[in-house]
Amino acid sequence: MSKAIKLNEKDNVATVFSDVKKDDILEILTETGESWDLNVLIDIPYGHKIALEDINVGQQVTKYGEEIGVASKPIVAGDYVHIHNIESIRGRGDWDDKKKSEITNDMVK
């Protein structure tokens, strides 16, 4: 069975370590040693991320237990998570503070 690694208990994404396909059953390994299965909704390439739970637009995406961006489109558990549905909140020369608070709903500091 294909595997993905969840690095921190707070994470809502995991990293896949093979090319996984739609409808595959993926084993999610965690830092505590427990594991569970997750249905893959769409093809995901090696090394990329899968959502472990639903993430609303503007909600924080968490990996290493830390913020890696916010959802720019609704994400559901089993989705492929990448630049098409999450965006950075740092180094945004194209944003002013108003735009940042609109996008993040002030959910992210």
17 makes contact with another protein (CB under 8 A): yes
Strands 2-5 and 13-16: antiparallel
Side-chain half-sphere CA neighbours of 19 within 13 A? 1
Phi, psi for 103 (deg, rounded to 5): -65, -40
| CB 13, min distance to another protein, A | 9
Residue 104, helix vs strand vs coil: helix
Q: Which amino acid is at 23?
A: D
64 makes contact with another protein (CB under 8 A): yes
| CB 91, min distance to another protein, A | 4
One of 11, 24, 67, 79 touching another protein (CB under 8 A):
67
81 makes contact with another protein (CB under 8 A): yes
Contact in structure between 51 and 75 (CB atoms under 8 Å): yes
Q: Give the interface with another protein as residue ranges (CB under 8 A).
A: 5, 7, 15, 17, 45-49, 61, 63-64, 66-69, 81-83, 86-95
